[in-house]
Amino acid sequence: MTRTLRDRRVLVAGAGVSGRSAAEALLAAGAEVTVTDASEERLAALDSVRAGGGRLLPGLLEPPAGTDLVVTSPGWRPGTPLLAAAAAADIEIIGEVELAWWLDRARPEPAHWLAVTGTNGKTTTVTMLESVLRAAELDVVACGNVGLPVVDAVRAGHRVLAVELSSFQLHWSRSLAAEAGVVLNLADDHLDWHGTLDAYGAAKAKVYAGNVVAVHNADDEWSTRLATGAGRPVSFTLGEPGPGQLGITGGVLLDRAFAADPAGEVLADVADVRPGGPHNLANALAAAALARAHGVPADAVARGLRAFEPGAHRSVVVAETGGTTWVDDSKATNPHAADAALRAHDRVVWIAGGLLKGADVEELVARNAGRLAAVVLIGRDRAAFAEALARHAPHVPVDEVSAGDDAGMSQAVTRAAAHAAPGTAVLLAPAAASMDMFTDYAHRGRAFADAVRALPAAEPATGG
């Protein structure tokens, strides 16, 4: 079903990247557009919206009279006064992704959507998927939570969209029905936004609505549960695959879901997956499953995985000093991601802490206590880490850094260096968000890398 936007009176809530894209697309579709934001500075930057006839009104607490649609930026909570007022007035509220779906369905030849969500691994999986689809010579772009608004990808006319979707974006989606979708995993995260793990899972489960193929992680209880009854079931596992699965056996990624031969078809070597580690093998299998659901041949999967370039701040080795490896995994913004990062190393000096967003670190610390050589804690919620460490790893030296911003990270790196030894990894995997000390996780990762490279004996990591 297509939605008519011409002459509709639309309020765009939020003047960030997705808000700007939504407002421009709505104006192009003939809607009457108003944009609001708490920041007058952000509104003032929307020159294209103003030039197109849009109104810019700061700090609205209720929709203007006559508004019949609200398009919200993903981070706005349902309880925000403006959105609560819109809901009370029975005004339809959608997100930028849902708007993109409406616009795409109105095209003569809509794009094929392959959608990825989960607590961790989304960006790696969706960019792996993009690389595989490009290896198959398809017109594809990665979009959504990865950075490029989906509205922009639709308006550019791409034929295949590899869409990364956050729980916020899915919460505000209504009719989205991707060709194939996957929930990679689910663990405590964003509970301050959703309230409960069940509500968070329900938002993630929207990725399965209307799928032809529903991909799930057979090794993850939540992923398996959320996919129940959705589309054609296809799963992936780090073990040997059964019928209808993708998995790993004899050092290769094997497809027994889409292969013509019941014995399966080899997709790639384990060595083709970079960076390595169980979590990235799972990401590669998920990307391969979505690509195969779209009909991509096996040889393109191998070529795409070999061509894939890992993103910044995801298990990146930034330097080596005296046999110690320094690893930036600032993207590990919750305990589940930090657990995967820690399990990739036998002996770790761990730099952790930040904003926990309602998550619990007890299980994370208990599972990894045996691999910890020392811990350096940073950020607002470092006390929660310290308490868990005292209970589950009382033998492990713990340093706390109270300073913020880059100076705090510099202190953390210096203290970590004092505990480092040959054969250990010093790992920045904070298990928490960054906004208490830094602009974002990328700023935190850069501060870590800069501090490491400033160490007297630092040697830059070599490529490969």
Note the pLDDT tens digit of each residue in 300-347.
Answer: 999 999 999 877 677 788 888 878 989 999 988 988 889 888 988 889
Structure tokens at 443: 């700023």
- How much is the mean pLDDT over the chain? 91
pLDDT of residue 457: 61
Distance between CA 450 and CA 402 in Å, rounded?
A: 19
Tell me the whole-structure pTM to 2 decimals: 0.74
At 189, the pLDDT band (50, 70, 90 cuts) reads: low
For residue 58, which phi and psi values (nearest 5 degrees)? -75, 145
By the 8 A CB rule, do 268 and 249 touch?
A: no
Average pLDDT on 289-303 reads 97
Helix-strand-coil percent breakdown of the chain, rounded to 5? 40, 20, 40
The pLDDT of residue 125 is 95
Assess contact for 183 and 217: CB atoms under 8 A. yes
Among 187-191, 201-205, 250-254, the range scoring the smallest mean pLDDT is 187-191
CA distance 196 to 102: 30
> How confident is the model over 126-136, as a mean pLDDT?
96
Structure tokens at 157: 């006319």
Q: What is the pLDDT of residues 56-65, one digit of tens each?
A: 999 999 999 9
Give per-residue pLDDT as tens, 416-448. Answer: 999 999 889 999 999 999 999 998 999 999 999
Q: Which residues, other chains included, contact 207 with Cβ-Cβ below 8 Å and sequence gap of 6+?
A: 115, 116, 117, 165, 170, 178, 181, 182, 183
For range 277-292, the mean pLDDT: 94
Which residues touch 463 (CB under 8 Å, ≥6 apart)? none
Q: Which two tokens stand for residue 193?
A: 């936004």
Q: Is the peptide bond before 297 cis (omega within 30 degrees of 0)?
A: no
pLDDT, one tens digit per residue, over 13-55 is: 999 889 999 999 999 999 999 999 999 988 998 999 999 999 9
Instruction: Enter the DSSP assignment of 379.
Output: S
**pLDDT given at position 198:** 85
Q: How confident is the model at residue 458 (pLDDT cuts 50, 70, 90)?
A: low
Q: What is the mean pLDDT of residues 284-310?
A: 96
Which tens digits make up the pLDDT trace of 341-381? Answer: 898 888 999 999 999 988 899 999 999 999 999 999 999 99
The answer to whether residues 278 and 238 touch, using CB atoms and an 8 Å cutoff, is yes
Please tell me the distance from the alpha carbon of residue 186 to that of residue 196, in angstroms, as a whole number: 12
